[in-house]
Structure 1
Amino acid sequence: MDSAAEAFDDPLQMARHQVGYILEVDVPASLHEYAATCVAAISFIYAADDLAA
Structure 2
Amino acid sequence: SPWALLVLLLVPWAVRVSRVVLGGAVGRDLIVVLRDTGLLELAYGLLLGVGLAL
**TM-score, normalised with respect to structure 2:** 0.48
Higher normalized contact order (CA 8 Å, seq sep 6+, divided by chain length): 2
Q: Quick check: which has more Rg, 1 or 2?
A: 1
**TM-score, normalised with respect to structure 1:** 0.49
